[in-house]
Copies of this chain bind each other. A is one copy, B any other.
């Protein structure tokens, strides 16, 4: 019999170009903030999980479990690094959830961290290419903007979406980020600015792409039945699901959906015993503007082929039908890859607590996170509920 699990604390290390901080500093910043928010001490922590995609390639540092147990004063507790490219954070959260749900551990810290700005953009693009099929995609020159550009072209061709449809996603997410303290870009942009920005991989322009970001985020998990002794506002994780798909695009049946996200979300809705209509707010994986459009369709918020109209019509803005990416998403809050899935959970927690100052979704009771690895090879979906 599995136990119910709650989030009792959240913390962030500001996202951005943190040239004065190393990987360990960022993890420490977020981890200590989450532990303080949960009103516990390090001695209360039983175990931890950390999502990180490419510490080895980006800064020469693997073995983050030991490093962070050491830095955070958690020795000799077991801390485990989990990696699934840009879904590393989501899978770390899922491992933490499983550890508490199973009764193996009680208080578990889940963190995500990535230090990305020490290298050139070209170097980072090559390293991120390791999230796809190194032998059949990256080796042939297909970096991630190119892979998502293919998804965008397929979608536009099939459903009549335009470059302007994509641009509206970026505009909406930048608008949301203005009030997000931890966001990398807290400024609005216009559709014209997106359309006139430098082309990266047609039809994607630089303002369709999430940036290269240093950052970290952390949450503290506890069994729900004791959560109220730590916080007045526990947030329950009512579903945790994970699915895989082919790592390379050329093996997919369809290029206008991410099947892993569909499979995982259907599993998650079943676990939570809800339908997509019950979700009040969601953080989705908008590594590129097209990715948010696929996400809101794969999650069942909009019909396949109609999601591209949502941002333009204001349906996914705060105050709209289903507010998407109140954090600013990967696009404007930034995308420290290993941290993103954990940041999503931390943002939803703030929303469900009613503490998302300046971007609060009114009466938010149920929130969802959608975290994707690579071009859709891994999907991690979590659903949270205000208790």
Q: Name A residues whose Cβ lies closer than 8 Å to a Cβ of B.
A: 1-2, 22, 24, 53-57, 59-67, 69-70, 74-85, 91, 94-95, 98-99, 101-104, 126-127, 129-135, 138, 242-248, 251, 259-260, 263-264, 373-374, 377-378
User: Is the CB–CB distance between B378 and A63 below 8 Å?
Assistant: yes
User: Is the CB–CB distance between B135 and A22 below 8 Å?
Assistant: yes
Distance of A64 Cα from B79 Cα, bound (Å): 20
> Which of B60, B69, B75, B244 meets A138, CB within 8 Å?
B60
Lowest 9 CB-CB distances: which A-B pairs, in order? A66-B377, A102-B102, A78-B242, A69-B244, A62-B130, A63-B85, A61-B134, A76-B243, A66-B247
User: Is the CB–CB distance between A132 and B63 below 8 Å?
Assistant: yes
User: Is the CB–CB distance between A243 and B78 below 8 Å?
Assistant: yes
> Which of B81, B131, B247, B251 meets A84, CB within 8 Å?
B81
Q: With contacts A63-B247, A81-B82, A102-B102 known, what are 16 further pairs, Cβ within 8 A?
A: A24-B135, A53-B62, A60-B126, A60-B134, A63-B85, A63-B378, A67-B247, A70-B245, A70-B377, A78-B242, A78-B243, A80-B95, A82-B83, A83-B83, A98-B102, A101-B102
User: Which residues of chain B are near A127, meaning CB under 8 Å?
Assistant: 56
Distance of A137 Cα from B56 Cα, bound (Å): 15
User: Is the CB–CB distance between B62 and A83 below 8 Å?
Assistant: yes
CB distance from A216 to the nearest CB of B (A): 17
CB distance from A364 to the nearest CB of B (A): 28
CB distance from A257 to the nearest CB of B (A): 13
Distance of A53 Cα from B52 Cα, bound (Å): 12
> Which of B53, B77, B126, B246 meets A70, CB within 8 Å?
B246
CB distance from A228 to the nearest CB of B (A): 24
Distance of A373 Cα from B54 Cα, bound (Å): 18
User: Is the CB–CB distance between A260 and B56 below 8 Å?
Assistant: no
8 interchain pairs (CB within 8 A)?
A1-B103, A59-B134, A63-B377, A65-B244, A70-B377, A77-B244, A82-B83, A95-B95
Distance of A190 Cα from B126 Cα, bound (Å): 46
Distance of A102 Cα from B132 Cα, bound (Å): 32
Given A54-B62, A103-B2, CB of A244 within 8 Å of CB of B378: no
